Structure 1
Amino acid sequence: MAHSTPSLRRHSTLLVGLAYAAFISLGLPDGLTGVAWPSVRAEFGLSLDALGALVTSGTIGYLISSFSSGRVLTKIGVGWLLVLSCLATAVSLLGYGYAPTWIFMASLGILAGLGAGAIDAGLNTYAADNFNPRTLNWLHASFGLGAASGPVIMSSIISANQSWRVGYVVVGIAQLLLASAFAITRKQWQTQHSEAAVEPVASATMLQTLGLPATWLSILLFFLYTGLEFCAGQWLYTLLTTSRGMPPGIAGVWVSVYWGSLTVGRLLSGVIVGRISVLSLLRLSMLAAIIGVVLFWLNVAPWLTLIGIALLGLALAPMFPSFIALTPARMGPSHSANTIGFQIAAATLGGASITSSFGLLADGLGLEMLGTYLFVVALAMALIFEGLNRLKPAE
């Protein structure tokens, strides 16, 4: 390996703090739009499904930037990548705040996706090389904090009889400040990354990285993981209320418990990972995820269903950051950045396609198929993970 462990101990406290701030800011926009949408829809006179245009444009931008992030990193370095991507996100959010038409706002989704995908992939690549698994878990927990804060910010502004536009402008200004902080520290990010290398290693091309079996298994692993996480989060409420007759208020609380368990689980995982290996933690987590799915699938008793929901959230919590943490050792320094970019792109695709595919399945076979569907996804994920661990690490 061309990465030395002492570099993990020498990273700047300032850079770690900025990384936390960046992950919080990455989660903020996700929470804004859901709360702002009724007001946006009313102002522009839109149909309910018009939100799909904004989601689609954002997804396109996200896929483009995350998939190509490895090559961009080799050209401009992580410091400039963070500056430019954060600036793109800031411009898009400010553009939302001043958008004269819906078409203009929806088009800005591409810029927002480009910025978010680059920040996500760039920071995960840097963190995987320079931070330990504990810090990676806590960084991803801070994303959850941002996602939870977004609705609070927007609802507070709307409740104060202010326009939804103000919420986007406030967060856009915060993104500008973060971009400025990245610009000031851009050389430190580069220095930090270069200090971690004992010898220069040429970065592989995207095609070379895609030629490795481990790359495709890693892509499939992230596709399945994010699909499992998002599909459960999006369909649990509908299953509990429509199919099982649970009161909306109680169902809403338990879906919140699911999402909250993801954040709490990442905080706890940051502590646990110092006591057991990352590999052991992931194997235990996958077993717990399967048990959690089975508990609410069988629907033996309401309390067992609810335990299953909470257990699934806790079990999924360490997976994404820990998968990222294992990537440099598995793929080697020349393939690591490309692979992490591919993984982030696959996660986006998996979250969208597995979630939407269940909607088609439920139309034909009913909502109670959710347990079976998630069980198959969770089992496939565990098998792919074990297969990936049996491969020889890339050079």
Structure 2
Amino acid sequence: MKIMSVNAGSSSLKFQLLLMPEEKEIASGIVERIGNKNAEFTLKFNGTKKQQKDLVILDHSVAVDLVINGLLENGIISSLEEINGVGHRVVQGGELFKDSAVIDDEVVLKIASLNDLAPLHNPAHIIGINAFRKALPNVIQVAVFDTVFHQTMPQENFLYATPYEWYEKYGVRKYGAHGTSHQYVSQIAHNRLGKEDSKIIVCHIGNGASISAIRAGKSIDTSMGLTPLEGIPMGTRSGNIDPAVFLLMSQKEGYSLEKTLNELNRASGYLGVSGLSHDSRDIVDAAHAGNHRAQLAIDIQAKRIADYIGSYYVLLEGLDALCFTAGIGENAKEVREAVCKRLEVLGIKLDLEKNNSRGEAEISSDDSKVKVWVIPTNEEVMIARDVIRLGKK
């Protein structure tokens, strides 16, 4: 069975074609700069990589056609009938979706009703969903929500101390994100530990980053909130900040609410502190070269990550495993070391030689009281699993 996992952004379309239930990648790719006349399409299969540049791709429908034609023209599939289902990543499911959902017109309308909670993401997801529904009208299409895994959080963990009417009227609360990643990684850790009441913290650290506390396989708290802006500093996001900064920037610089929000989302984090880049590789290289602000960007993020881990240690009443995943978590040994050095008081110790390894690994020392693992995430597999699960109902 061949399942397509799709992640549509405002100007991009990422995908993987997977053979299920073997969970084997057949092909993957991305269409970038949709809406422009210099778009790019990259397709990977059988160990090869094909790129087409300077394409005119004015909308997602054209991008979907390009993907499907690429699969056909390169013999990856012989006909559209080989694709048995499509799963779509959707960032925000609010309180409307407690599970992934088979897509119909009503589901699309419900996703659209949550656009205010994810204005940069949900509208783009809908465009991708509609394009694939048009191209593949006879196969099951499933929406897989980043927020579903965190629906098990208790009220005292997801509610803000704002007027309660804000929650009742407008859904103002913590929803979290990266749920499919946190679920995938924590399931592997839970199975490794072999204990029912496992206590796990997952650090999904990429350009976007979030931390979650997971007990007995269920999320009980997470760092991202109403939107992905809350939590730790990220590539370009500030993470937690005193909301009074909105008034200050209005008074001092004449910023609108939208301008300040944009700065906190797109010009802060690694980029804002370092003044150099949002990419951790550039930040680490600059820090090694003695750049103070680059090192400061790493230190600020590491400190905030450790803060969350410490609070979740108390919430979980102990800890069995700390897991690092996503681009930075899997590849930036310096970030892992900076975080864990601050956690030695909890009995968390790294083996510095093991921490140099790439890919999946246990990186804790033999005398560490907590297992520390690097576990590569696979959100696409989680999406494909849900397509199969819901297709059986």
TM-score scaled by length of structure 1: 0.28
Greater relative contact order (Cα < 8 A, sep 6+): 1
Structure in which a larger fraction of residues adopt helix = 1
What TM-score results when the alignment is normalised by the length of structure 2? 0.28
